Chain A
Amino acid sequence: MKTVAHQALDAASVRGVTYADARVVAIRNRSLTTKNGRVGHASESESLGIGVRVIADGAWGFAASADLSRAAVEAAAARAVEIARASARVKREDVRLAPEPAAVAEWTTPYKVDPFTTSVEQNLDLLLKVDAEMRACPGVTLAETGMNFQREESWFLSSEGARIHQTKYSTGAGYTAYAFAGSEIQKRSYPSSFGGQWQNRGYELIKEMKLVENARRVAEEAVALHRAEQCPEGVATIILDGSQLGLQIHESIGHPIELDRVLGMEANFAGTSFLTLEKLGNLRYGSELVNVVADARQEHGPGLGTFAYDDEGVAAQSTPIITNGRFTGYLSSRETAHAIGAVRSGGTLRAESWNRLPMIRMTNVSILPGEKPMTLDQLIAATDDGIYMETNKSWSIDDKRYNFQFGCEIAWEIKHGKRVRMLKNPSYSGITTEFWNSMDAICSRDEWTLWGTPNCGKGQPQQVVGTGHGASPARFRNIRVGSAYQGS
């Protein structure tokens, strides 16, 4: 594949480009689901191709081809140059890339069990056991499970001399029990909703998730929600479980710190950001307890945003995003780094596949756990009056990332340090910085999990990539709750 990438670089070079890179990517995926005791779908897929990115006349061009014959690869490179020259007709200034040493590297996701060496029978047997456990609970009307594996092998070569070969594995699984009765549909999911838990690991993740062990409880909670009281409307203290806090980070920190959004490059679709450049180093984003990093390094953990090099050959880094509550960093690329006076890219450019242009994406944007030992039970015990919410059900935020509203699958009212009753249809809403400034407690490392969000969409054409979000449960004061059902 290196030869193929070289052919593309050579073809671009002879056409007078000032920069070129080529990514050959091979992706293999297995996807299995079950529904009510039967296989929902069983599928595998493979995709192979090359994407060629060039700068000519000071502007970008990109062309991609699934045909890796020499003629097709050279034609794709020539097309990328033609496109770049067309881009140059409508430019304001030449593209400037922050300098980056040309890396020569090999890297593979650390894993114990290659998921593709596990048998489909074994995978389906596990899912069907989970399914049976859920459906054994009277009142469950629909049980769905899913499991996914992906292997992505890429060869990145640049005209500056980078030669990087990476192989990334990701694994995910989860399930949901639904209960329809009267005029309500309730559901509970495990370990998280919308696909479950995902990490850049092998099959060992599946083994650790205790999928079967939790299925009955989850199903019983779905049914019990029909007997629960509606979450009240008003202002309350809330505690969020780690998976919900991970999504809160994703939406109200991860997206607004994307420097391409800040610079207006996503204004037509994903939107812009309230985090305008003058706020860097000056904005009080959250309370003193809020410390957030964007960390793509393996030592942060096996998140969906973990790699050795990004898709323009920049080494994985850890960037402090919020430090003791103060806003300290953006997600950047070689093209955008100069906008914040940085001498180097933050290393966050990633593409969905060979046929997509890499763009700034969240890596693992994580809140650091509290330093003082605190379990979830201890946090609840230390809360006199509040609502504990668990597992995301709906999420929405405006296009500058100020106003958000989240719904969760389940909640419990807390009185005098104890969970006293289950609440259905919980929701909370607020303004991003007001919300993070209201955080007054966060659980410690032993409650911290690096959650995976496999479905983050951005860009035109839209690209879906996985991101990681480490979080432990945390408490927030004076939060508006119940507004999702206000007026209905």
Chain B
Amino acid sequence: MAEVSFPLPDLGEGLLEATVLEWLVKVGDQVERNQPFVEVETTKSSVELPSPISGTVLTLHGEPGDVVLVDTPLITFTVADDSAGIVGTVPAEVAPKRRVRLSAVLDED
């Protein structure tokens, strides 16, 4: 298992911080990629942030009402070491299957 932190991104242009309004997940929850996990408020708007990865919530960095700075950790997940990237899936290891049999008279002269 690996820990992956997601820092607060700049949600506008040149915003420095956001206020946590409500956590939509709690520690221990399994979160899917693109699932909204928090609602934050900036000086421009309030928005729900989608999770960039699938994983289990390890730490929520802040309580509702707390101000979080851009580029500082917002949430930390634990993810499986063999989890896929942003795109695609990890190929399943399957036993090789065949329908073709080889038949050959080998003339090894």
Interaction A to B: no
Chain A residues near B (Cβ < 8 Å):
none
